[in-house]
């Protein structure tokens, strides 16, 4: 069965939570939902979130030889930063970037990793099917956090997908650059790597950022999209793929789990700071 087709879709919308909503809360939320949905305590859930001026780093980024120089630069530019628990490298989150997490239960057969990526790709294609542009899934060399499921239009990346698996729950996460300058975001990450790596050789290959290969959906579709516009498109697609779509928040079971997962995220980032 297509993963997008679920008997119920619960939507937890945190896209307008504002500047004081920290990314640590988001990653703890997805872990909580994975555990709850994996245990059968909740239905499949779509969580949407926006964070202001935040750089999310991957584990590999923390091994950069001059990391502190790069982090100091980000602070000077007015950005917060944290290390996430799913794969990938540094990405930019701001008011023009909508994040969507689809959290499914992993049934007996399991969910093949590509199936999770394909479900998200299909969702985004469906959301923008009224435009004539083709949305491709392939690595865009020169982008930040490159991967085989970079989503692009005309060779320019506007989204990246990652996955998190925990306690029989699967979270497929995407950041969608909705509006603003994709190349300006890429320039920021380019400068971060320039300062944090310098010319020092590293075992891990960090991307050589080419800002021109990244753009926002507004730029690529030549239309002024807002976060609200994209939220409406998302809700319409989830409604078409379920018998029952409802807005909700964490239930009692999840509220009991959340503090433990939040503490783990804080601990992980405290170690990086140290």
| Predicted pLDDT of residue 115 | 86
Q: What is the pLDDT of residues 65-124, one digit of tens each?
A: 999 999 999 999 999 999 987 668 999 999 999 999 999 998 756 667 788 899 999 999
| Predicted pLDDT of residue 67 | 94
Q: Give the Å distances, CA to CA, from 170 to 35, 139, 173.
A: 9, 22, 10
Q: What is the pLDDT of residues 4-17, one digit of tens each?
A: 999 999 999 999 98
DSSP structure string for 136-195: EES--TTSSS--TT-EEETTEEEEEEEEEEETTEEEEEEEEE-SS-HHHHHHHHHHHHHH
| Predicted pLDDT of residue 32 | 97
| Predicted pLDDT of residue 172 | 94
Catalytic residue among 97, 145, 195, 257: 145
pLDDT band at 199 (very low <50, low <70, confident <90, very high): confident
C-alpha 55 chain-centroid distance: 11
Q: What is the pLDDT of residues 205-253, one digit of tens each?
A: 999 999 999 999 999 999 999 999 999 999 999 999 999 999 999 999 9
The more confidently predicted of residues 2 and 99 is 99
| Predicted pLDDT of residue 164 | 87
CATH class of 6-273: alpha beta
The more confidently predicted of residues 192 and 86 is 192
Q: Which of 167, 143, 168 lies closest to 157, judged by CA? A: 143
| Predicted pLDDT of residue 158 | 98
Q: Which of 169, 175, 115, 121 lies closest to 143, judged by CA? A: 175
Taking the domains of the chain in order of start, what are their residue ranges?
A: 6-273
177 is catalytic: no
Check pLDDT > 70 for residue 1. no
Summary mean pLDDT of the chain? 93
**Does the reported pTM lie above 0.85?**
yes
| Predicted pLDDT of residue 108 | 56
Phi, psi of 5 (to 5 degrees): -80, 110
Q: Mean pLDDT over residues 159-176, rounded? A: 92
Q: Mean pLDDT over residues 47-74, rounded? A: 95
């Amino acid at each position: 069965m297509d993963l997008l087709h679920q008997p119920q879709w619960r939507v937890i919308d945190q896209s307008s939570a504002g500047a004081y909503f920290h990314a640590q809360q988001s990653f703890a939320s997805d872990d909580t939902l994975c555990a709850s949905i994996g245990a059968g305590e909740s239905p499949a859930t779509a969580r949407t979130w926006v964070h202001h001026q935040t750089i999310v780093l991957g584990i590999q980024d923390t091994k950069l030889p001059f990391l502190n120089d790069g982090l100091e630069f980000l602070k000077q530019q007015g950005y917060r930063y944290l290390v996430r628990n799913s794969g990938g490298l540094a990405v930019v989150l701001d008011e023009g970037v909508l994040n969507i997490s689809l959290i499914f239960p992993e049934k007996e057969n399991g969910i093949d990793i590509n199936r999770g990526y394909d479900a998200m790709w299909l969702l985004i294609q469906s959301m923008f099917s009224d435009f004539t542009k083709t949305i491709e899934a392939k690595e865009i060399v020169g982008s930040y956090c490159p991967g085989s499921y970079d989503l692009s239009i005309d060779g320019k990346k506007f989204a990246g997908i990652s996955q998190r698996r925990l306690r029989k729950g699967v979270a497929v996460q995407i950041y969608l650059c909705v509006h603003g300058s994709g190349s300006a975001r890429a320039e920021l990450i380019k400068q971060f790597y320039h300062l944090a790596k310098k010319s020092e050789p590293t075992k891990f290959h960090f991307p050589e950022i080419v800002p021109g290969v990244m753009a926002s959906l507004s730029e690529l579709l030549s239309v002024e999209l807002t976060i609200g516009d994209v939220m409406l498109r998302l809700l319409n697609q989830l409604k078409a793929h379920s018998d029952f779509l409802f807005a909700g928040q964490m239930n009692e079971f999840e509220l009991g789990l959340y503090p433990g997962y939040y503490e783990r995220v804080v601990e992980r980032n405290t170690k990086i700071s140290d």
